[in-house]
Structure 1
Amino acid sequence: MTRLIMLCVLLCLPGRAATPPFAQRVQFVIDAYAHPKTAGPLGYANIAAKLRLHEDAAQCSRRLEELLAAGPTGDMFWMFPITAIAYLDQGQLSDSARQALRSSLRTYMPYRGDTENHWLLYYTSLYLMAQMWPDQSGDQWYTGKTSAENLREAEGWINSWVRLTTTRGQGEYDSPHYMGLYFLSMSYLAEWAKDPAMGKRRDDAGLFDRRLRRRKSRWHLRGRALPSV
């Protein structure tokens, strides 16, 4: 799961913003998922990586339909890779694969979760999906709410979380494994949110810097080095 999280963070990073050494590490990870060494059917992460590289669109389309026909699982942990696929598609997927993806958001009801990182993943994905398919009625969504209502609910929760985090701090157990989940959500919004205010939540809140400084200080106090991407 940690590897999938980091891949999704890297997939939505704009290449123009990366320095050459970091860009090489990003490319290495994406290539590894796009061209797995072990034989076997593609997963959501492999499909997303291939779409980022604009490779094997027909294969990605067929496999995505197979995965969705088998029935989505994973709740909010299914939502964030499928959101990446939706935004990395950019006209590459077949019409039937794109329709299967859209239909899954009507027929599958992902559990919102019960912790801070779960809710942020859930609402970030819901926000971006509602943004991608605006002006749709409640019967087209698993929530039973319209696109506008889903967008408004997700935006309200995310804004509330940012305010709370930057004024009083986080309420969740401060595990280093959760850091990637917060980075993932903020990276998605920074790259794909059309509303400039939502896209700037990461920078306005200084969330990346806050969490990195906090984590770095704690790891150093324990005599350990902070892992690099």
Structure 2
Amino acid sequence: MEVRIIHRTGSEASKLVDELVRENISARTELWNPAKELPSDLFDSHLIIVCIDRDRAILGILKELTSEGRWSLPIILLDTHYDQTTALFAKNNRLPYYIPPYNPTFIGRMIKELVYKHAELTNSGEKIEAFDILLDPTNRCAQRRDRVIPLRNKEFALLEFFIMNKGRLLSRTSILEHVWDRNHCYGSNTLDVHINRLRRKIDGPFDDKLIHTVHCVGYRFAKAEVLSHLPAAHEA
């Protein structure tokens, strides 16, 4: 998951990047310049955070985002000082609006919820592809090469989460938080049981494995060659 933080002054944005990393969220900053076009890869991110300072000029970027036709991309507004007009704008456009002090854990959870809700709406009925796997939300199954693989609900949710975060190191905690209800009481081996079931279906019949265990940390969904630079003892 990648978040882009658009700002005019770097201090708050840099601090936010560090805080989000601790919440297992990758973030990059983008210095906004009204005289330049938005970077072409901006919409490759999963969510945009707009940091607003006192002069409010950066709010002009919302017009740019609208004109790009990508308003559906989740956006969060972080204001350094409360402003009634900005707050009303956020409310009318259903944009999350926060003022200091920011709670990094809460912001992190909000980001994850918005991203996955957006993914559900965007991918509803549409097939999702990663490597040689095609995930079919309509029929709740996957296809790898010419093999159709029926999936249980949690197996489907796990594979969907892996595909959305392909190549990234996912901690056990982050997987449990997003695939299971965070209020659900699950056993210590719940994740291992479901990962093993998914592995048997997705990786079992094939030589090239995609689900890799990172010992004492979590899992990574990637092709083996991506992991070739890592010591063999670290990932399996």
TM-score class normalised by the smaller sequence: 0.3 to 0.5
Larger-Rg structure:
2
Structure of higher RCO (CA pairs closer than 8 Å, 6+ residues apart): 1
Structure 2-normalised TM-score?
A: 0.34
Instruction: Say which structure is richer in strand.
Output: 2
Instruction: Say which structure is richer in helix.
Output: 1
